[in-house]
Amino acid sequence: MAEVKVSKEYKTISEIAGPLIFVEKTEPVSYDELVSVKLSDGSMKRGKVLDSSDKVVIVQVFEGTTGIDRSASVRFLGETMKMPVSRDMLGRILSGAGDPIDGGPPINPEQRIDITGAAINPWARDSPHDFIQTGISTIDGMNTLVRGQKLPIFSGSGLPHNDLALQIARQAKVRGEHEEFAVVFVAMGITNEEKQTFMKEFERTGALKNAVVFLNLADDPATERIVTPRLGLTTAEYMAFELGMQVLVIMTDMTNYCEALRQVGAAREEVPGRRGYPGYMYTDLAQLYERAGRIKDKKGSITQIPILSMPGDDITHPIPDLSGYITEGQIVMSRDLHRAGIYPPVNVSSSLSRLMGGGTGEGRTRADHKGVSDQLYAAYAEGKDLRGLVAIVGKESLSEKDRKLLDFADMFEDRIVRQGADEDRSIEDTLAIAWDILGSLDIDQITRIDRKYIDKYLKKA
Amino acid sequence: MTEVLTEFPALEDPKTGDPLMNRTVLIANTSNMPVAAREASVYTGMTIAEYYRDMGYNVSLMADSTSRWAEAMREISSRLEEMPGEEGYPAYLAGRLSEFYERACRAEALCGKEGSISVIGAVSPPGGDISEPVSQNTLRIVRVFWALDTKLRERRHFPAIDWLTSYSLYNKQLAQWYTDEVAADFPALREWAMLTLQRESELQEIVQLVGSDALPDEQKATLEVSKMIREIFLQQNAYHPVDTYSPMSRQYVMLKLIKQYADLSAKAVQAGVPLDKFESIPARQRFIRAKLETNIDDELKAVGEDMDAQFRALGV
């Protein structure tokens, strides 16, 4: 054991407000320092220092302040929050505060790591360009995911984003390589039912043995939610950069995380920013998202898929807006496609993967990939525009070419977008379908693809 | 950011063939680095730019993105508990923005040489809505505006610069330069192309109501011409070795060819040649594909001759 630091116990709580307690007349304590609170009935709670001044120290209590009274004693532990990590964490289920809740033994740490992490020097980062095949056409073909990328799913309540995330976790692989693969699953404020779905799915597919699961459910304290993703990412960093694993981090739901930030901000009486969210939310989110990536000379990588449900499907809401600034693209879910019974309901037009250029093409996917994907985008967009027109003037008044585009849009949704929840398409499968439906267009409507690929792959109907 | 750091050194200067990095300074502040450093980073960049300007260099400074810079100002301002202005931004936002942009200049340095700084600032408004304070305050200062459009992005039209909303107030000043350096008729060609695109957007409104079949042939031909301007001239593939860089001389040839097609097709319409007859001429296909060929300039030349011949064959 490390040396035990002797520290004073303070019984000087002057105020309790929401998730915060105010402690008076302390010796100097440091920012973010870990705190333990002993209640009068002997039970313990943990928290961290949010604000430190010469008179009052503000402590945020992870488990909530219910039951704390002014006679409770507060001890400052002299260190910031650390996460015990070990290879044996794979297959374990932990609470939002990092304690095992699967009935198993406590984690025997190989290392204890600060949960805030350190910003990676941009120069030390390696640029992500290894194609991850998710087996989902709308992602592989149209919005390619690469190792080390952070690609959020922008969704709404009632849309099957969790199914999509699960399918990605299940099917994602880097082709031709057999490397250790791990999933860190961070649940923030999700419902018990969602949790059950995830757990059942992890067990069914055997993914649990390669996963570390952090669960902060909807009825767990909101303040704990602020720590949960940091614990998850610390674990991921350990596995990726110390153990050399390829780690996929799924964080759901970021909206709940931001709600928790707002709650704490309000309790501290901070000046609220947009829609009441704290002004530092951008920095705070960046501290999470920027922990994805690859580092030069290290084998492992962290790929992040944060899921966030946009309140009122509003993409300009501060949460998706700020996330979009930081992440490298987004997968947007569409309510219209979902209503039309199409799974996965990915709105291809507004989705984007900024790192697609580096992860596709000769030697990564296939030389014709980029052109094909541009062509699909262009033709689908034109076909969708025509739908609006057809509603007004009818299909008859369209030209022959326009009619082809209109049919193309339907085919695109039916064959590229729609696929089974267990259907794992290789990139070749996806491109084959793409060429197949491109065959329905006139040759002069295909303007984005190099001649040589058209000659090679296009089969005319 | 990593992308920029690894890709920049690999980039080649299209004019000299040297690594672009030889004349580049990168200042990196990623979003998880301290917010105060982010607020400072644009000033760091500008100061370095001025240092080179004073040595007589022509410097171009790219700030990506000023919205994040403003976001940093907002964050610090709220930490300082300052009275917030519009949308929580500090009241001095407009002042800071103009102080920054006004450092762009062309100046005579003390060493007697002339140097300049051109500033290209990226603004990324939430949801693409430019009515928010950072965009609006920026637009009040700058003289050139390139509006990136999500609709164009969705159909993978890159660069996604909206040709109708974007503007440059330097057109008049540059007219002489175009005449001297490119071709005497370039300013007129440019104007014609803009007019055609403007006309297209008007016609599109009608098409939305009645369908394209209801338009007379002459207007249908205009739509085809503007489509050619969009697909051949405006659209470029940054990943294609040839298409990624188009020198002014080639841009001129392209526009000129499109104009040639427009004139010929107008004549054909008057002569009563059916639309699908001349729209399907092989020269047009060849023109659209020419961008992707390595011998593009020869191709374009051939397209011009083909076009004439094929229209002649139709009796125009």
DSSP secondary structure of A90-147: TT-EEETTS-B-SS-PPP--SEEEETT--PPPGGGEE---PEEE-S-HIIIIIS-EET
pLDDT band at B96 (very low <50, low <70, confident <90, very high): very high
What is the three-class DSSP state of A329?
Answer: strand
Which residues from chain A sit within 8 angstroms of residue B212, using beta carbons? 397-399, 402
- Give every CB contact of residue B189 below 8 A, 6+ residues apart in sequence: B183, B252, B255, B256, B259
Peptide bond into B212 cis (omega under 30): no
Q: What ipTM describes this predicted complex?
A: 0.70
User: A residues 86-115 near B, CB within 8 Å?
Assistant: none
- Testing the interface with B: which of A389, A390, A445, A453 to mutate, by most B Cβ within 10 A? A389
Which residues from chain B sit within 8 angstroms of residue A315, using beta carbons? 127
Residue A446: its H or E element: none
Alpha carbon separation from A122 to A127, A152, A290, A293, B190 (Å, rounded): 10, 21, 10, 10, 42
At residue B289, the pLDDT reads 85
CATH fit for domain A13-80, picks 2.40.10.170, 2.30.30.30, 3.30.1600.10, 1.10.357.10? 2.40.10.170
Give strand ranges (E) for A119-263.
Answer: 125-126, 131-133, 145-146, 153-155, 173-174, 181-190, 211-217, 246-252
Class of domain B178-313: mainly alpha
Task: Name which of A36, A99, A117, A101 is nearest A73 in CA terms.
Answer: A36
Instruction: Please state the domain extents for chain A.
Output: 13-80, 83-359, 369-460
Which of A290, A370, A399 minimises the CB distance to B213?
A399
Distance CA A213, CA A207 (A): 11
Q: Which residues of chain A have pLDDT under 70?
A: 1-6, 177, 460-461
Q: List the structure tokens of B205.
A: 């409104």
Which residues from chain A sit within 8 angstroms of residue B156, using beta carbons? 373-374, 377-378, 381, 448
The pLDDT of residue B93 is above 90: yes
Look at the block and give the residue holding tokens 């998710």: A134
Q: What is the pLDDT of residues A19-77, one digit of tens each?
A: 899 999 778 888 888 999 999 898 999 898 988 888 899 999 988 888 899 889 999 98
Which residues from chain B sit within 8 angstroms of residue A392, using beta carbons? 208-209, 211
Distance CA B128, CA B148 (A): 9
The pLDDT of residue B49 is above 90: yes
Which residues from chain A sit within 8 angstroms of residue B157, using beta carbons? 378
At residue A102, the pLDDT reads 87
Q: List the structure tokens of B15.
A: 């004019």
CA angle at residue A98 from A95 to A99, to 5 degrees? 70
- Give every CB contact of residue A44 below 8 A, 6+ residues apart in sequence: A36, A37, A38
**Gap between the terminal Cα atoms of chain B:** 55
Distance CA B199, CA B268 (A): 20
Query: Which residues does residue A265 pair with via DSSP β-bridges, in sequence order?
Result: none
pLDDT band at B10 (very low <50, low <70, confident <90, very high): confident
Domain A369-460 has CATH 3.40.50.720: no
Alpha carbon separation from B56 to B59, B109, B284 (Å, rounded): 9, 7, 47
Q: What is the pLDDT of residues B169-182, one digit of tens each?
A: 998 889 999 999 99
CB contact under 8 A, B211 and A316: no
Residue B12 DSSP code: B
CB contact under 8 A, A397 and B156: no
CATH fit for domain B2-171, picks 3.40.50.10090, 3.90.230.10, 3.90.110.10, 3.40.50.300? 3.40.50.300
Instruction: Please state the domain extents for chain B.
Output: 2-171, 178-313
Which of A123, A271, A326 minimises the CB distance to B31?
A326
Look at the block and give the residue holding tokens 């403007």: B198
CATH architecture of A83-359: 3-Layer(aba) Sandwich (3.40)
At residue A459, the pLDDT reads 79
